[in-house]
Amino acid sequence: MSLRMALLGLLTASGPASGYDLTKRFESSVNHAWHAGHSQIYPELAKMAADGLVTVGEEGPRGRKTYTVTEEGSRRLHDWLVTKEHFRPVRDEGALRAFLLPMLEPEESVPLLRREAGVYAARLAELEALEASKPRERETRFGRYALDLGIRQMRMMRDWAEETADRIEHAARG
Amino acid sequence: MSLRMALLGLLTASGPASGYDLTKRFESSVNHAWHAGHSQIYPELAKMAADGLVTVGEEGPRGRKTYTVTEEGSRRLHDWLVTKEHFRPVRDEGALRAFLLPMLEPEESVPLLRREAGVYAARLAELEALEASKPRERETRFGRYALDLGIRQMRMMRDWAEETADRIEHAARG
DNA sequence: GATTGACATGTAAGAACTGACATATAAATA
DNA sequence: TATTTATATGTCAGTTCTTACATGTCAATC
């Protein structure tokens, strides 16, 4: 369902597109919120067309197919967005590793956390650059709040990793 | 792999247990980091036994089976924890909804965000209560950093939802 | 003695996802 | 002209996850 909604959202935000386009749009936008590759996107678009959520245009060069959202598709996306009861259970590998972290010795966990803090910091810098560069056009309005959320997320993870490393170091010495 | 590691972690942290126990431990601890139900846990334990990561004790009352981590299991968990290259692609439904949020009218999105901020605030209160109540025993050391992470996560989500609602309201009026 | 609830284990169909394989065309570069 | 790169679409086997079904025991309450 989530993949469907992400695709309907992208089609609504930036207009009709091919599976190939959508795969790239995924990479450059929703990817921080939801990941999907082309091998998932192509079959899903076919199912969505069968279910009347999108229509397929005539084949263009290189067999290109262009998908457009239908009224039904719009309605379904709207309904999904407004309905609150369907949160997926959490499955966050970073958090799982955090959970298991106390199993390691400080000599192992501290450098690990510092390294991870670095990864989060780099990701944060990327997102901040993206935010600064992006003009406030119609299409770019979509995902604006998500970008802000992504930035907050990275900042939080970086701080958590750094401060947890400090705590462990302090406990090991004290 | 993640499920395996979560199970090995729980078995290491709180000692030998049955699938039933592990299902409940999952609910009360790792659940904020990784979710799994009994229908996933039972078959996984069987496979882990076949792979030599755990051993199965004799059947107790009501067909109860007790699993214990082997040396091999310990080693594998340790290796997994120390290795950094295997982050799962993000799939966060909350973030996806955040991405699609600008598609709604302020009259719809603002109350939605306020309601969600309430949910996050409630969850935050729960986790803070848990942190305050938990004695610092051997078993409870596991998951301590994850609990802190969970608290930070909830706080961040609550703030994001609240502040985004403010921004949208302000933009709609201004 | 009967019923209820917590304990305890499983299966199985279907959806969602991963990673690799497979194919072909148009445009740009060497 | 030949080669490479980007465009464009697909399939498929295997894994993971979801939801529902299915079964039986032990302890406590009624």
Chain A contact probe: residue of B93, B99, B112, B163 with most A CBs at under 10 A? B99
Contact A11/A90 with Cβ under 8 angstroms? no
Structure confidence at residue A139 as a pLDDT band (50, 70, 90): very low
Q: Which of A48-62, A118-132, A137-151 has the highest mean pLDDT?
A: A48-62
Q: A14 to chain B, minimum CA–CA distance in Å?
A: 12
* Contact yes or no for A155/A125 (Cβ under 8 A): no
**pLDDT over 90 for what percent of chain B?**
78
A95/chain B closest Cα distance in angstroms = 5
Lowest-pLDDT choice from B99-108, B129-138, B150-159: B129-138
Kindly report the average pLDDT of chain B as a whole number. 92
- Would the pLDDT of B137 be above 60? no
Nearest residue to nucleotide C7, by CA–C1' distance, is B62
Cα dist. B160→A64, A87, B171 in Å? 40, 17, 16
Query: Do A96 and B2 count as a contact with CB atoms less than 8 A apart?
Result: yes
A89 CB neighbour count, 10 Å cutoff: 10
DSSP character at residue B89: P
Task: Supply angle C-alpha A28, A7, B163, rounded to 5.
Answer: 70
Among all protein residues, pick the one whose CA is nearest to the C1' atom of C16. Answer: A40
Q: What percent of chain A has pLDDT over 90?
A: 77
Q: Whole-number Å distance, CA A88 to C1' C16? A: 13
Whether residue B139 has pLDDT greater than 50? no
User: Are the C-beta atoms of residues B160 and A146 closer than 8 Å to each other?
Assistant: no
Residues 5-64 (B) with a CB less than 8 A from some CB of A: 5-6, 9, 12-13, 29-35
Dihedral angle sign, alpha carbons of residues B43, B45, B49, B51? positive
User: Would you state the torsion angle of the CA atoms of residues A42, A45, A49, A53, taken in this order, to the nearest 10 degrees?
Assistant: 180
A16 DSSP 8-state letter? S
Helices (H) and strands (E) in chain A, counts: 8, 2
Tokens of A172: 């090991």
DSSP 8-state secondary structure symbol assigned to residue A35: -
Q: Residue for token digits 């009360």? A: B28
Q: How large is the average pLDDT for residues B44-68?
A: 96
Residue A29 per-residue DSSP state? T
Q: Say if residues A154 and B95 touch (Cβ distance below 8 Å).
A: no
Q: How far apart are CA B172 and CA A64, in angstroms?
A: 40
ipTM above 0.95, yes or no: no
Closest nucleotide relative to residue B40's CA, C1' based: D17
pLDDT tens digit string along A13-38?
A: 999 999 999 999 999 889 989 999 99
Where is B69: in which H helix or E strand?
Answer: strand B67-69
Which residues of chain A between 56 and 115 are close to nucleic strand C, CB under 7 A? 61-62
Phi, psi of A67 (to 5 degrees): -105, 140
Does pLDDT of B134 surpass 70?
no
Of the candidates B1, B16, B14, the one whose C-alpha atom is nearest the C-alpha of residue B54 is: B16
Reading the block at residue A156, the tokens are 């939080």
Instruction: Extract the tokens encoding A152.
Output: 């907050």
Instruction: List, as one string, the DSSP characters of A48-80.
Output: HHHTTSEEE----GGG---EEE-HHHHHHHHHH
Find which of B78, B149, B160 to mutate to test the A interface (most A CBs within 10 Å of its CB): B149
Distance from the Cα of B57 to chain A's closest Cα (Å) equals 24
A137 touches chain B (CB under 8 A): no
Task: Kindly calculate the radius of gyration of chain A based on its CA atoms and give it in whole angstroms.
Answer: 21
Mean pLDDT, residues B48-61 taken together: 95
